[in-house]
Chain A
Amino acid sequence: EAGVAQSPRYKIIEKRQSVAFWCNPISGHATLYWYQQILGQGPKLLIQFQNNGVVDDSQLPKDRFSAERLKGVDSTLKIQPAKLEDSAVYLCASSSSSGLAGGNEQFFGPGTRLTVL
């Protein structure tokens, strides 16, 4: 079974530029998550999708971050314009239709390491 795929693996941009990350979850997984992991910290949940609907985006900085999952499969996360403090690893994860309720496992992709100069 293929895992969660993410691209690109690495990205370097200058501040005020825009950037987009792509994620393809495990086949059949209805729930998709985007996390931001700053160096030395644990992952921070940015947004959670159930199929193509947003379940929770309370920690997404909506003035510069946006995410979509139009067909309920793959997803993109965009930052526009980027700031220095956006330098982090952006992780995508997916889980089965019932999400994480009852302790269901989420499966993580390898992440995209973003450096903002």
Chain B
Amino acid sequence: GNSVTQMEGPVTLSEEAFLTINCTYTATGYPSLFWYVQYPGEGLQLLLKATKADDKGSNKGFEATYRKETTSFHLEKGSVQVSDSAVYFCALYNNNDMRFGAGTRLTVKP
């Protein structure tokens, strides 16, 4: 079946630090992969996506590369800001099935 495993948090970083949140998946075939973000007091929103192997999704300085050989879609940002504090969810879509990871809470301190 389809499943997503993401790095558990919480993660606390200082401003301008490098961020990596690990995400691995299990799926048959070729799922689409997503990162969603939930800022404090707001709803879930799409951060970035990739639909095939070796695709790189990017948005707001965040990047993630679809690695089929390692079944991974790790989220990275070179220099985090206080405004990046949020909960990040890795997700996949495959054959009408949408699966989310448990979420990773990121706190960025000034």
Contact = CB atoms under 8 A, between A and B. Distances in A.
A-side interface mostly:
mixed
Contacts of B32: 100-103
A100 B98 CA distance: 9
20 contacts: A33-B98, A40-B103, A41-B102, A42-B4, A42-B89, A42-B103, A43-B100, A45-B97, A45-B99, A56-B96, A93-B44, A100-B93, A100-B98, A101-B93, A102-B32, A103-B49, A103-B51, A105-B46, A105-B49, A108-B45
Contacts, number: 52
Contact of B43 (A40, A44, A109): A109
B100 A103 contact: no
A103 B50 contact: yes
B44 A91 contact: yes
A55 B103 CA distance: 26
Contacts of B49: 103, 105
A45 B98 contact: yes
Interface string B55-86: 00000000000000000000000000000000
Given A102-B51, A105-B49, A108-B44, A44 B96 contact: no
Band of interface residues on B: 20 to 34
Contact of B97 (A56, A107, A109): A56
A110 B93 CA distance: 21
Interface string A67-80: 00000000000000
